[in-house]
Amino acid sequence: MSMPQKILAVMKQNPKFKYNAKAIYMTLFFKPDREVDKKLLAQIRTTLNRLVKDGKIRRYKRGHFQIKPSPEIVKKLDDPDVKVHGVKIEFRLEEHNILGIDGISAPHNITSFIDANRFEEVCNGEGKSMRRFSKKAWWEERNITFTIHDCGLIEIFCSASDNPMGLTDFFRFADFISGFLSPICKFQKNKAVLKQIGLNRDFEELQMEGVSCISVKKFLNDWCRIYQHQGVVRYEHHLKLDISLEDAFNSLQLLTYSPMNGNRPDEHRDVV
């Protein structure tokens, strides 16, 4: 076996480790009763630099090297959970003309709710009312936008690209919405509609080289991309939907939990 093959074999056995020339030497050639072979150590350094140029390994920092993960290695070491972001939910109140903008008095509890929570009226560039009120709120370091329309439609949007939600986070996000809107309505997950969602998996071991982003647009309402994001490679799939929030929860449970091992989060399945 050649020197490059020996070095690659060592690094593939421990793909998360970062090696310098001395670590390779101690692994392959060290013998307690012999002095360090400086010529062999220099040969290892030269081989490591050549492997970097050949694209077989990557330089982690000066003098330290790491194997480039193959798809097989990534699959074994890096199997991140599906997370969600870019969530848009719509929920319609039963009362029509809910804000009373056309001169019809709005229900007192709704106007009080808008005033108490400091919703701001949305206007166009000319200062004319757009017949809706909006407010930004924070939940677990995520920015949430609530918009209440005159027609009774409530829109909830959460970007969360830098802090995506796991499945249990998504359940608790729905509970947060329910609690926030409780003064004016009973938020029912089987009546709320999921209009948009982004699904992502962040691979820590995988690195993109020579390209920053790959985007694929399959349909007008369905696209995905792969890009470098905060030190990880993110695989991201965006969907525009029109399904109930309850159905979305059930689908995400099937994607995330195996029905064979009985580890579905039963405490959330019957929440409506």
Instruction: Specify the pLDDT at position 204.
Output: 66
**Can you read off the two tokens belonging to residue 145?**
């936008």
**Can you read off the two tokens belonging to residue 185?**
């309505």
pLDDT at 52 over 90: yes
Query: Across the chain, what does the average pLDDT equal?
Result: 81
pLDDT at 98 over 80: no
Q: Which residues pair with 229 in a beta bridge?
A: 232
pLDDT at 107 over 50: yes
Other C-beta atoms within 10 Å of 24: how many? 21
Length of the chain equals 272
Q: Give me the mean pLDDT over the 25-41 stretch.
A: 87
Instruction: Specify the pLDDT at position 261.
Output: 43
- By DSSP bridging, strand 57-61 and strand 142-149 are unpaired
Q: What is 4-17 written as a DSSP string?
A: HHHHHHHHHHSTT-
**What percent of the chain has a predicted confidence (pLDDT) above 90?**
41
Other C-beta atoms within 10 Å of 207: how many? 15
Between residues 65 and 272, the one the model is more confident about? 65
Instruction: Specify the pLDDT at position 42.
Output: 94
Nearest to 234 by CA among 178, 162, 174, 168: 162
Nearest to 66 by CA among 74, 78, 80, 56: 56
Q: Give CATH for domain 3-68.
A: 1.10.10.10
Q: Are 187 and 178 in contact (CB under 8 A)?
A: yes
Q: Which of 27-36, 63-72, 190-199 has the lowest mean pLDDT?
A: 63-72
Is pTM, for the whole model, over 0.75?
Answer: no
- Per-residue pLDDT of 134-149, as tens digits, reads 999 999 999 999 999 9
Q: Give me the mean pLDDT over the 65-91 stretch.
A: 78
Instruction: Specify the pLDDT at position 232.
Output: 75
Domains of the chain, by residue range, sit at 3-68, 83-269
**Can you read off the two tokens belonging to residue 19?**
């090696």
**Can you read off the two tokens belonging to residue 17?**
């480790």
**Can you read off the two tokens belonging to residue 11?**
């690094």
List C-alpha distances in Å: 33 to 29, 30, 36: 12, 9, 10
Q: Give me the mean pLDDT over the 249-263 stretch.
A: 61
Q: Which of 93-107, 124-138, 153-167 has the lowest mean pLDDT?
A: 93-107
The C-alpha atoms of residue 195 and residue 158 are separated, in whole angstroms, by 12
Q: Give me the mean pLDDT over the 39-49 stretch.
A: 94
Label residue 142 exposed, middle or buried (CB < 10 Å: 0-12, 13-18, 19+).
Answer: buried
Q: Which residues contact residue 232 at a Cβ distance below 8 angstroms, ignoring those fewer than 6 apart?
A: 202, 203, 204, 206
Residue 115 pLDDT class (50, 70, 90 cuts): very high
- Provide Rg for the chain, Cα atoms: 27
- Per-residue pLDDT of 136-193, as tens digits, reads 999 999 999 999 998 889 999 999 988 999 888 999 999 999 999 999 989 998 999 9
CA 31, 32, 36 angle in degrees (round to 5)?
A: 65
Instruction: Specify the pLDDT at position 216.
Output: 62
List C-alpha distances in Å: 62 to 19, 21, 42, 69, 202: 11, 11, 15, 19, 26
